[in-house]
Homo-oligomer: A and B are copies of this chain.
Amino acid sequence: LKDSSPLWKFPTDRFVNYFFLNEAFKIIVDEVLNKGTDVQQKVCDWKEPEELAQLLDLELRAAGEPHHRLLERVRDVAKYSIKTSHPRFFNQQFAGVDYHSLAGRFLSEALNTNLYTYEAAPVFVLMENEVLRSLRLLIGWTEGDGIFCPGGSTSNMYAMNLARFQLFPEVKSQGLCGLPRLAIFTSSQSHYSVKKGAGFLGIGTDNVILVKVDDGGCMIPEDLDEKIALVKSQGTVPFIVSCTAGTTVQGAFDPLDRIADVCEKHKLWMHVDGAWGASVLFSKQHRHLLKGIERANSVAWNPHKLLLAGLQCSALLLRDCTGLLKRCHVANATYLFQQDKFYDLDLDIGNKSLQCSRKVDCLKLWLMWKAVGSSGLEERVNKAFFNARYFVQELKKRKGFYLLHEVAPAIKERMMKKGSMMVGYQPLENKVNFFRMVVLSPLVSQEDMDFCLDEIERLGNDM
């Protein structure tokens, strides 16, 4: 160390920075929020990968660039990105924008808070607890536990780990070596994260037993019961049933009440993957779809899907009141979770998480909820259901649609290159490719739904 050398002055001018951020904000408002939700504009400005790479000039170099150049880059990134809030983005189970949530997301990013201790995140420790409490109340639980996870897949994996730990607490320290084979039950239409989780947790994807579904895509409880009995007779230990409330493709809701009976009979942990469908609990009209959810041990719920909270906002909710979550995940790192602190150590919620750094995901949901109230969120759910039913009803009036199934990939290509809308497609078991229409943004109008049907006809016209 050169004793005499003065420490650097950070070579930035605050006002220059503010100006830059302000200009970037204007571009975001203009390109993403204004043009990006304008039905007259394209959903996507399709480019082939090689061309796009060149347009963006992605390479990172030794020297920095001036602000005017960076602002062009902000505009380019916005321009060539998919407008997921566009009224004609029906491609995935997230869409639409809520400005209150977005304000919360900007604030979370600016504060750059790490959510592990009360001293580092006083506001958000209390806020996360309150948001989780309010979500639990909708399930019907007046007490319980929970945590926000980086996505529904992670929430599902947490549930598996908790179920396993409850049955075999020694698995945390000793691992699976020496334990009998364990089995997970879920329907053939459940989300693929159940299998991913089984692989990651050392259980093995072969030990995910797929239960049959009915024509609507709902798990058949009798088949579940039989398969559990069969697996037990082979010496394997079942430990969790992962139900789905809102399957990925058909949007089916497993019959939770009847599955709860089976779980009680066999003393199994009942998990509900409600990443998509749990938000229906806000709707008095539709919440019957989730009848029996209060009997589950855990629920995964992604307000970033149907409620438009913004990626990522995924809660894992637990009925447990014994501190299972903390016992299962605690590592008690001494540099974060000192035991001689001057406040209640239960506020250091980081011990419940498998993450160390954890982003704040509760603020965006809290602020949006404050803004529109439970009643506003209810209306959002009801409108999505109304739109979906309207679409099906209109579809039935059009004769040609069944025939189009086999050409979905070709129509999809034309759709993307034209940029008029985005709809996903996929096969289902032995059926050929079909379009999977996801309708959830409250921005979607009757006109958009009609457009969508017309456009598929147009795109497939000369095939």
Please state if A106 and B103 are interface contacts (CB–CB under 8 Å): no
Please state if A199 and B176 are interface contacts (CB–CB under 8 Å): no
Q: Report A20 CB to chain B, min CB distance, Å.
A: 6
Query: In the complex, A376→B331 CA distance in Å?
Result: 37
Query: In the complex, A103→B374 CA distance in Å?
Result: 32
Query: In the complex, A101→B275 CA distance in Å?
Result: 30
Knowing A106-B24, A311-B357, say if A161 contacts B200 (CB, 8 Å): yes
Please state if A82 and B121 are interface contacts (CB–CB under 8 Å): yes
| 8 Å CB contact of A357 from B29, B58, B199, B312 | B312
Query: In the complex, A9→B374 CA distance in Å?
Result: 19
Which listed segment binds B: A126-134, A218-226, A256-264? Answer: A126-134
Q: Does A442 contact B (CB under 8 A)?
A: yes
Please state if A357 and B172 are interface contacts (CB–CB under 8 Å): no
Query: In the complex, A379→B312 CA distance in Å?
Result: 33
Query: In the complex, A293→B24 CA distance in Å?
Result: 37
A 13-34 binary contact with B (CB < 8 Å = 1; else 0): 0100110111011001100111
- Residues of B within 8 Å of A344, CB to CB, are 49
Which listed segment binds B: A139-147, A204-212, A238-246, A451-459? Answer: A204-212
Please state if B204 and A201 are interface contacts (CB–CB under 8 Å): no
A 37-55 binary contact with B (CB < 8 Å = 1; else 0): 0000000101111001100
Please state if B20 and A436 are interface contacts (CB–CB under 8 Å): no
Please state if B177 and A122 are interface contacts (CB–CB under 8 Å): no
Q: Does A216 contact B (CB under 8 A)?
A: no
Query: In the complex, A157→B302 CA distance in Å?
Result: 23
Please state if A370 and B70 are interface contacts (CB–CB under 8 Å): yes
Please state if A373 and B191 are interface contacts (CB–CB under 8 Å): no
Query: In the complex, A213→B300 CA distance in Å?
Result: 41
Residues of chain A from 296 to 339 with CB closer than 8 A to chain B in the complex: 302, 304, 310-312, 314, 328-329, 331-336, 338
A 326-358 binary contact with B (CB < 8 Å = 1; else 0): 001101111110101111100100000011111
Query: In the complex, A328→B196 CA distance in Å?
Result: 9
Q: Does A403 contact B (CB under 8 A)?
A: no
Please state if B56 and A123 are interface contacts (CB–CB under 8 Å): yes
Query: In the complex, A10→B37 CA distance in Å?
Result: 13
Q: Does A85 contact B (CB under 8 A)?
A: yes
Please state if A49 and B126 are interface contacts (CB–CB under 8 Å): yes
Nearest B residue to A69 by beta-carbon distance?
B370
- Residues of B within 8 Å of A292, CB to CB, are none
| 8 Å CB contact of A74 from B28, B91, B107, B126 | B107
Can you report 13 residue pairs joining A to B where beta carbons are below 8 Å apart? A3-B393, A6-B446, A21-B106, A48-B343, A49-B118, A73-B370, A74-B367, A94-B114, A153-B354, A193-B356, A201-B202, A248-B333, A334-B428
The 10 closest A-B pairs by CB, nearest first: A202-B202, A175-B204, A150-B150, A24-B103, A64-B373, A335-B426, A192-B331, A342-B413, A17-B99, A58-B130
